Amino acid sequence: QTIYLKDYAPTPYRIVSVELDFKILEESTRVRAQLTVEPREGTAPGTPLVLDGDELKLDSIALDGAPLMQSAYASDANSLTLVEPPHKRFVLETEVTLNPAANTKLMGLYRSSGTWCTQCEPEGFRRITYYLDRPDVLAPFKVRMSAPKSVAPVLLANGNLVDQGDLGEGMHFAVWEDPFLKPAYLFALVAGDLGSIKDSFTTMSGREVELGIYCTHGKEAECAYAMDSLIRSMAWDERRFGREYDLDVFNIVAVSDFNFGAMENKGLNIFNDRLVFAKPETATDANYHGIERVIAHEYFHNWTGNRITCRDWFQLCLKEGLTVFRDQEFTSDERSRPVQRIHDVQNLRTSQFPEDGGPLAHPPRPDNYREINNFYTTTVYQKGAEIVRMLATMLGEAGFRKAMDLYFERHDGDATTIEAFIKVFEDSSGRNLSQFATWYLQAGTPQVKVSDSYDAASQSYTLTLSQTNDPTPGEPTKKPLLIPVRFGLIGPNGSPLGWTGVSGGTVEDDLILFDSDSATLTFEGVANKPVPSLFRGFSAPVKLSTNLSQDDLLFLARHDSDPFNRWDALQTASTTLIANAAQGKAWSEDDVDALRAALIDTLENGELDDAYKAQALDIPAETVVGRYIGKDVNPDAVAAARKGLVTALVSPVASKLASTYEALASSDAYSPNAAQAGRRSLRNGLLSLLTTGSDRGAALAANQFEVATNMTDRYAAMAISVRNWTSEASALLGAFRTRFAGDPLVFDKWLTASAQAPDEDVIDRMRATLAAPDFPKTNPNRLRSLLGSFVMANPVQFTRVDGAGFRFITEAVAEIDKVNPQVASRILTGFRVLPILEASRREAGMTALQALKEQHTLSRNVGEILDRILAG
């Protein structure tokens, strides 16, 4: 049941080459596979060959052209075994019949709005044919596919098109060949009646690559931004990492039913259509941003993932953490680096920290799992990216590039490990990274405490650091981590302070390498008492607490030369006030006045751009504050305290904010560019403050909803109204739904906003939405928009003391699990919040989970998540 990393062993047989033949018909698809197989060196004669299979029906089987006798093989639900294969190279031929239309799990070959498409990562290929379905088995693939021309004029697979033609009787065929060795999880095939846009890219060595994006007819124009993003990604990977594309074609297909964002299949990326389609009337700035990021991410996988892949699924963050780091860097270069950094850290704090601090905590490189699909997590992706970023921070830009060059050179064509990745960094830099590697192997967010003192007489300044790493499931004790602390000392007039010498630890320029439980660093020759700026650029994924006063924080907010830390100082200042108030410690008027003054200074600063200002004015969400409090959390109290603080901040300056809001209106034609998007986000940030903190916002929002000329402004007006449950909110939801009836991706926005209403009746409304006969119950986007947004972003109603929120979710999960276990288990992860809640809510949540366990037969996906949460 549980699979362990320590049990890893290569397969006794290798697959030399693969030829697949798909006959796609309306009723069913027949798959014939010819696998050329040979024993690996050292394999004993007579060792059985065990191929993976899942929900397959074997029609025929032959070895070297001769049908196999019944006694020579055995098949069960999950495998096909050749009892005694030849001890030499041989060809195994199997034939199976699939029913893609009935495949609601959306793994393997399935149909989405009539289009045949595949998803194989991590273990979907075994739902297509019997195979050694694991990432360390690499082979060249040749794929022949035939289908009726009427329903599938477009036939795509990995690699280059080598043949195509007519077969008569309305059928046609295509043959695709992928010369690059690849694991089965990168296999893809698409057949359907699709429109497309085409472009081309000339690589740095002068090769011409044909680019295509395929979509539902009529959506072609909405693929333009995705194409633009792809071309910029290709150019960036050449510039920044020297990586060139390697096939003659690169195709992307947008499909409507997809379990996650997108998939990097070699030469044939398949995307959830929400990450491809965009036009100003229906897509927000955030959607454009998301498209650019994910198009880049999947493209970058061609080198970090495909050319160099993972040895086993425990190594998932080898490709995902690294590729997320690469896509973050891409966006930083294309847009604003500080804004992107803040964005990524916000994301880490709102999703990864909660995972790392709860029952689902696991190391970025786990060592056991029941269901690998449950490990495509924010820890593997986002924390994995933070680990790579720390390497980049320690090595510097040139050192990091040198290491990456060595990685590509040494491991091209490999299925490799985290250990090999670390080794590359050690070899290229000469550093010993054995302690650093613990980041990959240990779960939990380190808590770093820092206090300081200054001795004027001796001009010496002392920083005392300590780190604690709380136990996580299965890891009662923890090792200290090597934590890079980028820092600066700021003098009373706001300019940097230097020092003449330092003792007590390792300091390289502006980087402290903090590697023990505690350390005391003494800086000599510090002319004045400094305010320390710590973890600049968020140099390590830790929770920091310091002895800095509110005044110190607000001083940093004004004077720190590091834009991330200026932002973070404001966040910490407001988080502390809200958290204290939620626990009965009211703020003083002085505290609020000082915070307000700092916020207004930021708003009026002529040097900061709008996107940055919007982030600075963003008061932390309830979930972030709840996480900061960490135990016995009462979300009602947190929500009330947050509203109280915003009201206290806004009241005296409401007219000023309102006039700034008006002044930021623009009549320019919509563009998704960073400057315009920043302006809109600042304006909508002000609208949010005015709506939460004054009685002016509701009407402004209702008006903005009416006059908006793009989805960013219209959606913001609705979502802000709903989150604050203004008197207009319900009407706006109604108007939005009518205006965009029939557009499924806009319906997702309606669902997302609806699920965040804080009023008591929200659960009844959601039940009604789900029960409507036309609600598409099998579409992941619809389900996640409604239910995912409720569990993650509506703490007040989800964690209700009467348990209604919890039961609504467990009941929905039980239903969805029968159709699509991956979607069900993802929604269930919202229960990871239970341990930090006050007892009555925690118990109500546990009761709902127990009922789910007792009353239903659950998938392995849901079963694993449920058991881990119940075990706490």
User: Which does residue 285 touch among Zn ion, ligand ARG, none (CB within 5 to 8 A, set by kind)?
Assistant: none
Closest CB 780 distance from ligand ARG, rounded Å: 11
Taking contact as CB under 6 A, which single stretch among the options 258-266, 491-499, 526-534, 615-623 is the one that binds ligand ARG? 258-266
Options 260-268, 491-499, 617-625, 782-790: segment touching ligand ARG (CB under 6 A): 260-268
Structure tokens at 784: 């996640």
| 355 lines the binding site for ligand ARG (CB under 6 A) | no
Residue of 707, 709, 733 lying closest to 720 (CA atoms): 733
Residues noted as catalytic: 298
Asked whether the beta carbons of 755 and 762 are under 8 A apart, the reply is yes
Contact partner, 260, from ligand ARG, Zn ion, none, Cβ < 5-8 Å per class: ligand ARG
Minimum Å distance from CB 148 to ligand ARG?
30
Q: How many Cβ atoms sit within 10 Å of the Cβ of residue 42?
A: 8
DSSP 8-state secondary structure symbol assigned to residue 766: H
Q: Residue 420 has which token pair?
A: 């090999």
Shortest CB 411 distance to ligand ARG, Å: 18
* Closer residue to Zn ion, CB minimum distance, 178 or 320: 320
Query: Which ranges constitute the DSSP H helices of 242-359?
Result: 285-300, 316-334, 337-347, 353-356
Give the residue with the Cβ less far from Zn ion, 300 or 564. 300
376 binds, among ligand ARG, Zn ion, none (CB under 5 to 8 A by kind): ligand ARG
Which one of residues 222, 264, 560, 591 is an interface residue with ligand ARG (CB under 6 A)? 264
Which of ligand ARG, Zn ion, none does residue 263 bind to, with CB < 5 to 8 Å depending on kind? ligand ARG
Count of CB atoms within 10 A of residue 64's CB?
A: 12
Which is closer to Zn ion, CB of 389 or CB of 679?
389
122 interacts with, out of ligand ARG, Zn ion, none, CB within 5 to 8 A per kind:
ligand ARG
Select the residue interacting with ligand ARG from 54, 222, 298, 327 (CB under 6 A): 298
Stretch in the footprint of ligand ARG (CB under 6 A) among 262-270, 605-613, 750-758, 791-799: 262-270
Q: What does the alpha-carbon distance between residue 563 and residue 651 come to, in Å, rounded to a whole number?
A: 27
Q: Which does 591 bind (CB under 5 to 8 A by kind): Zn ion, ligand ARG, none?
A: none
Instruction: Give the shortest CB-307-to-ligand ARG separation in angstroms.
Output: 15
Among the residue ranges 241-249, 257-265, 388-396, 772-780, the one whose residues contact ligand ARG (CB under 6 A): 257-265
Q: Which stretch binds Zn ion (CB under 5 A): 269-277, 315-323, 365-373, 863-871?
A: 315-323
In the complex with Zn ion, the residue whose CB is nearer, 309 or 550, is 309
Q: Are 177 and 163 in contact (CB under 8 A)?
A: no
> Under the criterion CB under 6 A, does residue 376 sit at the interface with ligand ARG?
yes
x/- letters, 310..349, toward ligand ARG (CB under 6 A): ----------x-----------------------------
What are the structure tokens assigned to 533, written together? 């700026």
Closest CA to 295 of 220, 212, 249, 227: 227
Among 309, 351, 373, 688, binds ligand ARG (CB under 6 A): 373
123 vs 480: CA distance, rounded Å? 35
* Segment near ligand ARG (CB under 6 A); pick from 41-49, 232-240, 259-267, 411-419: 259-267
CB nearer to ligand ARG: pick between 188 and 646: 188
Q: What residue has token string 């993972």?
A: 310
CB-nearer residue toward ligand ARG: 3 or 204: 3
Q: What is the DSSP string of 428-492?
A: HH----TTTTHHHH--S--EEEEEEEEETTTTEEEEEEEEE---BTTB-S-PPP-EEEE-EEE-T
Show the site string, 55-74: x = touches Zn ion by CB under 5 A, - = not. --------------------
Please report whether residue 121 would count as binding ligand ARG according to CB under 6 A: yes
If phi > 0 it is left, if psi is from -120 to 50 it is alpha, else beta; for residue 213 that is beta
Alpha helix locations (H) across 709-800? Answer: 711-723, 729-739, 744-754, 762-771, 780-783, 789-793, 795-798
Question: What percent of the chain is helix, strand and coil (3-state, nearest 5)?
Answer: 45, 20, 30
Query: 604 and 583 in contact (C-beta within 8 Å)?
Result: no
In the complex with ligand ARG, the residue whose CB is nearer, 110 or 461, is: 110
Six token digits for residue 814: 């039980």
Stretch that binds Zn ion, among 15-23, 199-207, 313-321, 663-671 (CB under 5 A): 313-321
8 A C-beta contact, residue 85 and residue 45: no
Radius of gyration of the chain (CA): 28
Write the DSSP symbol of residue 108.
E
Q: Minimum Å distance from CB 271 to Zn ion?
A: 12
User: Residue 831 in contact with residue 870, Cβ under 8 Å?
Assistant: no
Q: How many residues bind ligand ARG (CB under 6 A)?
A: 11
Q: Specify the pairing of strand 368-369 against strand 249-255.
A: unpaired
Residue 121 or 356 having the CB closest to ligand ARG: 121
Among 139, 134, 118, smallest CA distance to 31 is for 118
Name which of 196, 186, 189, 90 is nearest 144 in CA terms: 189
CB of 104 to ligand ARG, least distance (A): 16
Please report how close the Cβ of residue 112 comes to Zn ion at its closest, in angstroms: 20
**Closest separation between CB of residue 830 and Zn ion, Å?**
23
Whether 107 and 124 have beta carbons less than 8 Å apart is answered as yes
Contact string (CB under 5 A) for Zn ion, positions 317-346, x = contact: ---x--x-----------------------
When the beta carbons of 173 and 260 are compared against Zn ion, the nearer one is 260
Position with the least CB separation from ligand ARG: 376
The residues with which 143 forms a beta bridge, in sequence order, are 20, 176
The entry of ligand ARG, Zn ion, none near residue 53 (CB within 5 to 8 angstroms by kind) is: none
Q: Which of 437, 436, 557 is nearest to 494 (CA)?
A: 557
Q: What is the DSSP letter of 633?
A: B
* Partner residues linked to 443 by β-bridges: none
3 state SS of 30: strand
**CB-based contact 28:88 (threshold 8 Å):** no
137 binds, among Zn ion, ligand ARG, none (CB under 5 to 8 A by kind): none
Q: How far apart are CA 450 and CA 519, in angstroms?
A: 10
Binding mask 271-310 for Zn ion (x = CB under 5 A): ----------------------------------------
Which of ligand ARG, Zn ion, none does residue 19 bind to, with CB < 5 to 8 Å depending on kind? none
Q: Quick check: 560 binds ligand ARG (CB under 6 A)?
A: no
122 binds ligand ARG (CB under 6 A): yes
Judged by beta carbon, residue 117 or residue 733, the one nearer ligand ARG is 117
Q: How many CB atoms lie under 10 A from the CB of residue 861? A: 23
> Least CB distance from residue 107 to ligand ARG, whole Å?
8
In angstroms, the CA 822 to CA 380 distance is 17
Cβ distance to ligand ARG smaller for residue 296 or 534: 296
Residue that is written with structure tokens 């009646």 in the block: 193
Amino acid letter, 677: A
Q: Which does 130 bind (CB under 5 to 8 A by kind): ligand ARG, Zn ion, none?
A: none
Closer residue to Zn ion, CB minimum distance, 133 or 320:
320
Q: Which does 121 bind (CB under 5 to 8 A by kind): Zn ion, ligand ARG, none?
A: ligand ARG
**C-alpha span between 728 and 718 (Å, rounded):** 9
- Is 173 in contact with 167 (CB distance < 8 Å)? yes
Alpha helices in 666-728 (DSSP H): 674-693, 697-707, 711-723
Q: CB-wise, 320 or 562, nearer to Zn ion? A: 320
Binding site for ligand ARG (CB under 6 A): 121-122, 260, 262-264, 297-298, 320, 373, 376
Binding site for Zn ion (CB under 5 A): 320, 323
